[in-house]
């Protein structure tokens, strides 16, 4: 069988793109700022999975992809790779977050209190038209809410299991490490992982391929300051504020090598408001680093290879979608192998 190079389809591709844009043309009448507000959780998800914090471009990407969030994340990730990196910002401590929502299911009475923030958790999930229940806000206190993690007292009391700290912080966008994976690399992979994949893998451990049943120690949504160094004065300068979600789960007590018994915990953190992702990340962090949550031969959510290589939405989508591109030669080769095998088997029968 000879290999025949083919070309063509340019006109079809051009028309296909025009057809696609015409099919979602109403998006040209929608301001990106409307998307930023009305679809904020979609925008946040795209920024987190695209690994680029830009509400403006994430909104445009959602419009450009007709609301396909994976596709929108792809646009954002691609844009990220086209920008030069100015440097590394100052470290964000989620305990310094200006809180908009903060809950703990582990403790009822926590320092700072339980704050529901903007949430529809307690809404009946029926699509009904309703009038906005206007509240008179100015009856309430106007003070800022900065509060330490609800698990901090347990950490201070040395009750929580700790893990070794990486000597250097890995950056998977420059070098993707091999096993054994540094913790910072695993956390970075998860921070930009696809929310649905992470939820699915975390759910395997809850459902039976593991035995995790964590308690939310501290879940918080709010804004954190981004700081850098002013290149002319060399002093610290505030660049802006970003919305973030952070979650710490408490799992179970585990006997340590030194004979002590410590509480296992997991940490999840991502750009934007996306608590399902942050909770899933904290569960995966727990299952990966604490074998006490593994049943028998091991499950799925406790396997570094499984998690590190399968939760990136852009990569998995790219690999999955590449199958729809021309594979004529590959498939013709498969058919030829099948025909040859059949003939070989027939010849064998004759002999």
Q: How far, in Å, CA of 239 to CA of 223, rounded?
A: 13
> Whose Cβ is closer to another protein: residue 13's or residue 163's?
163
74 binding another protein? (CB under 8 A) = no
> Whose Cβ is closer to another protein: residue 27's or residue 90's?
90
> Whose Cβ is closer to another protein: residue 53's or residue 74's?
53
Rounded to a whole number of angstroms, the minimum distance from the CB of residue 194 to another protein is: 14
Rounded to a whole number of angstroms, the minimum distance from the CB of residue 67 to another protein is: 21
Closest CA to 99 of 51, 149, 139, 55: 149
Interacting residues with another protein between 234 and 253 (CB under 8 A) = 235-240, 242, 244, 248
Contact string (CB under 8 A) for another protein, positions 251-290, x = contact: --------------xxx-xxx-------------x---x-
> Whose Cβ is closer to another protein: residue 231's or residue 326's?
231
Q: Which of 2, 22, 85, 132 binds another protein (CB under 8 A)?
A: 85
- The 3-state DSSP class for residue 324 equals coil
> Whose Cβ is closer to another protein: residue 181's or residue 209's?
181
> Whose Cβ is closer to another protein: residue 2's or residue 164's?
164
Rounded to a whole number of angstroms, the minimum distance from the CB of residue 199 to another protein is: 19
Please enumerate in sequence order all residues whose Cβ is within 8 A of that of 339, keeping only pairs 6 or more positions apart, or say none. none
Interacting residues with another protein between 20 and 59 (CB under 8 A) = 47-48, 51-57
Q: How far, in Å, CA of 66 to CA of 71, rounded?
A: 9
Q: Is the distance from CB of 65 to CB of 17 less than 8 angstroms?
A: no
> Whose Cβ is closer to another protein: residue 99's or residue 283's?
99
Cα angle 93-163-251, degrees, rounded to a multiple of 5:
85
Give the CA distances from residue 154 to residues 106, 157, 160, 234, in Å, rounded to whole numbers and listed in that order: 12, 5, 6, 38
Q: How far, in Å, CA of 75 to CA of 173, rounded?
A: 16
87 binding another protein? (CB under 8 A) = yes
Interacting residues with another protein between 311 and 330 (CB under 8 A) = none
Q: What does DSSP assign to residue 1?
A: -
Rounded to a whole number of angstroms, the minimum distance from the CB of residue 144 to another protein is: 6
Rounded to a whole number of angstroms, the minimum distance from the CB of residue 329 to another protein is: 39
Region near another protein per CB under 8 A, out of 183-191, 193-201, 297-305, 316-324: 183-191
Bridge-partner residues for 220, per DSSP? Answer: 102, 246
Closest CA to 277 of 211, 214, 183, 190: 190
State which H helix or E strand residue 57 sits in.
Answer: helix 55-64
> Whose Cβ is closer to another protein: residue 103's or residue 209's?
103
Please enumerate in sequence order all residues whose Cβ is within 8 A of that of 114, keeping only pairs 6 or more positions apart, or say none. 102, 103, 104, 108
> Whose Cβ is closer to another protein: residue 69's or residue 151's?
151
Interacting residues with another protein between 203 and 222 (CB under 8 A) = none
Q: How many residues does the chain have?
A: 351
Region near another protein per CB under 8 A, out of 16-24, 203-211, 227-235, 319-327: 227-235
Rounded to a whole number of angstroms, the minimum distance from the CB of residue 174 to another protein is: 10
Region near another protein per CB under 8 A, out of 22-30, 66-74, 162-170, 326-334: 162-170
Token readout for 36 is: 């930023």
349 binding another protein? (CB under 8 A) = no
Q: How far, in Å, CA of 278 to CA of 248, rounded?
A: 9
Radius of gyration (Cα) for the chain, nearest Å?
A: 25
Interacting residues with another protein between 134 and 153 (CB under 8 A) = 135, 137-145, 149, 151-152
Q: Is the distance from CB of 236 to CB of 230 less than 8 angstroms?
A: yes
């Amino acid at each position: 069988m000879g290999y025949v190079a083919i070309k063509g389809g340019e006109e079809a591709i051009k028309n296909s793109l025009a057809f696609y844009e015409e099919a979602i043309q109403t998006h040209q009448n929608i301001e990106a700022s409307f998307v930023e507000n009305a679809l904020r959780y979609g925008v946040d998800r795209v920024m987190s999975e695209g690994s680029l914090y830009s509400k403006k471009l994430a909104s445009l990407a959602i419009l450009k992809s007709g609301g396909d969030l994976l596709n929108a994340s792809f646009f954002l990730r691609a844009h990220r790779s086209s920008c030069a990196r100015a440097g590394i910002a100052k470290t964000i401590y989620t305990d310094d977050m200006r809180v908009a929502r903060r809950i703990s299911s582990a403790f009822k009475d926590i320092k700072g209190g339980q704050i529901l923030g903007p949430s529809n958790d307690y809404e009946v999930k029926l699509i009904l038209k309703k009038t906005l229940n206007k509240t008179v806000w100015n009856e309430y206190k106007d003070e800022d809410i900065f509060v330490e993690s609800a698990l901090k007292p347990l950490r201070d009391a040395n009750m929580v299991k700790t893990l070794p700290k990486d000597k250097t912080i890995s950056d998977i966008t420059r070098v993707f490490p091999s096993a054994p994976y540094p913790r910072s690399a695993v956390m970075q992979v998860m921070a930009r992982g696809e929310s649905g994949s992470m939820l699915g893998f975390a759910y395997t451990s809850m459902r039976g391929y593991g035995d995790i049943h964590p308690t939310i120690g501290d879940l918080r949504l709010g804004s954190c300051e981004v700081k850098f160094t002013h290149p002319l004065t060399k002093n610290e300068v505030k660049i802006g504020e970003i919305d973030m979600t952070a979650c710490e789960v408490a799992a179970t007590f585990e006997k340590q090598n030194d004979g002590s018994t410590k509480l296992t915990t997991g940490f999840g953190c991502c750009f934007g408001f996306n608590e399902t992702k942050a909770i899933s990340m904290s569960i995966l962090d727990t299952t990966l680093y604490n074998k006490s949550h593994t049943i028998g031969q091991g499950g799925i959510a406790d396997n570094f290879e499984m998690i590190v290589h399968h939760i990136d939405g852009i990569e998995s989508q790219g690999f999955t979608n590449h199958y729809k591109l021309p594979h004529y030669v590959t498939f013709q080769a498969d058919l030829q192998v099948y025909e040859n095998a059949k003939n070989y088997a027939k010849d064998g029968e004759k002999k």
